[in-house]
Each structure stands twice: as C-alpha cells, then as structure tokens.
Amino acid sequence: MERIAFLGLGSMGTPMARRLLAAGHPLAVWNRTASRSEPLRAEGAQVALSPAEAVLGTGIVVTMLAGPEALDAVAEEVLPALGRGTVWAEMSTVGPDAVAALRERLPGGVTLIDAPVMGSVDAAASGSLQVLAGGEVEGPVVEVLERFGSVRRCGPSGSGAALKVVLVNAMIGGVAVVAESLRLADALGVDPAGAREALAAGPMGGAVRRTLSDSAHYTLDLAAKDVGLAVGAADLPVLRAVGEELRSRDDLAGRDLSALREPRP
C-alpha cells in the first residue's frame, strides 16, 4: 500500500490518521506538539521529528493544520523534501488563496489537491466526513480520501477550499443565530424544551442539531479564523458581526462553537 505522511494531529487529524493505520497504510506522522504523536506510535505509525523527515519516501502527503499560517510554515520545511510524483492532499481549512499560493511554490512533478472536510471529530473517527476535493483527484489518493468519508469532486484546484469556506460559514452563522434564539426564548420565558423542539422542526433544524451537539470539538478560535477567511473575500456584514462576537467571548476559550448558547457571565 502507498506510504503516507500525515502532518497535523489535532482533534481532527488524529482520528483521520488512525483510519489510515487501521486500513494498513504505512504511515509517518508529525505534529508540532510532539507528545500528540506518541499514541499513534504505539499503534504502528512512524513518528517523524520534522515535516521534512515525515515526507521523505512517501507517495502521498496529507496536511490537516490549523490555518494558512501553519500551512505556510510547514510548506517551508516540506517543499525541498518532496519527491517527483508525490501527491499533496491539503485538507486544512485555509481558503482558495492559500491553496493557489502553495501551488505556485510546488517543485516540478508534485501534484496538489485541496480536500478540506465538513464534519467534526465523531465523523472523522467513523469515516463519515464529507471531503470537498478540488484539482486532479485520481489514482491512489482517491482511496485515501475515501477512508475519511464521501468525496465530492468540486472542480479545478482551489474549488474544494472555496466551497469549504462557504459551507463552514453557513454553519457558523446558523449556530450563532440559533444560540441567540435560545437565549431569547429564555429571556421571554418560553419553555426551553418547547423552543428547541419548535426550532428543530423549522428551516434551521440542522443548525439546531449542531448547536445542541455534545460530540463536536470545533473551537471558537477556529470558527473565528474561518469567518475571517469569508469576510476577507466578500462584503458580509452579518458574518463580520458573528466574527466579532466569537473573538470577544473570552469566557468560552477552548470550547466548542455550541457554547455560544451560554449567556455572557
């Protein structure tokens, strides 16, 4: 089976890497906080001391990083070490501009696809993510992406990254609206269970389920980063206000986005 390098073992990257190990892929892993790699070493992964070491001799590189800055830093180390014929699957949420900038830096013979995902930690563990793939998605990388979930082919390079910004911001905005609606219901003395049931039966049903989820781990700081990708691309006053709210909720630091339903202290 194809040897794979997996760079970035956060809350999403770790269960995704585990799925590759479970499928029998030889796997090299790297994470900036080295201690996060150790559980995977015990499960059979080779733990690399640097991104460059991880990608040596691999046919497929997967990155699942925090954002554009982290991707840029990793690329500085990885690019000189990539072999001809390598496919780089960039699965972080970084937006199409970062994908285009990375593509311009690739050495000859290396292919880049953008394949960010929709879904949270539980879906990553079960292999039920939605993979939004842009670029030339063919060959062994298809099987790798399918280990993570269903693959939607979005079009040319950057199209998967662009659609991810659209979809994730629709989710963020929906959660923010539902969270405030629940707080409004409380202020007006509406029965909490009745309010949740009625909201779930309406057009915001999906956002209600996400707002009430206890299994997701998508922190407010990551959501604020993703809103920043959107408001940097278009005039979006509602999302701009949501981003300001996310950045101001210091009381919810490290919490999942669903914590927005809690009132300010």
Left, alpha or beta for 48 (phi > 0: left; psi -120 to 50: alpha)? beta
Chain-centre distance for alpha carbon 129: 10
Would residue 164 show up in a list of annotated catalytic residues for this protein? yes
Angle between helices 159-187 and 237-248 (to 10 degrees): 70
Yes or no: say if 118 and 129 are a contact pair by the CB < 8 Å rule.
yes
CA atoms within 13 A on the CB side of 55: 26
> Half-sphere exposure of 199 toward its Cβ, with a 13 Å CA cutoff?
26
Q: Please tell me which residue in 18, 36, 164, 225 is annotated as part of the active site.
A: 164
What amino acid is encoded at 168 in this protein?
Answer: V
Return the amino acid letter for 79. L
Cα–Cα distance list, 221 to 60, 75, 86, 214, 250 (Å): 29, 23, 32, 18, 10
**Placement of tokens 């949740």 in the chain:** 196
The distance from CA 187 to its chain's CA centroid, rounded to whole angstroms, is 35
- Report d(CA 95, CA 100) in Å as an integer: 9
Residues 6+ apart with CB under 8 A from 187: none
Q: Hey, which residues are catalytic here?
A: 164
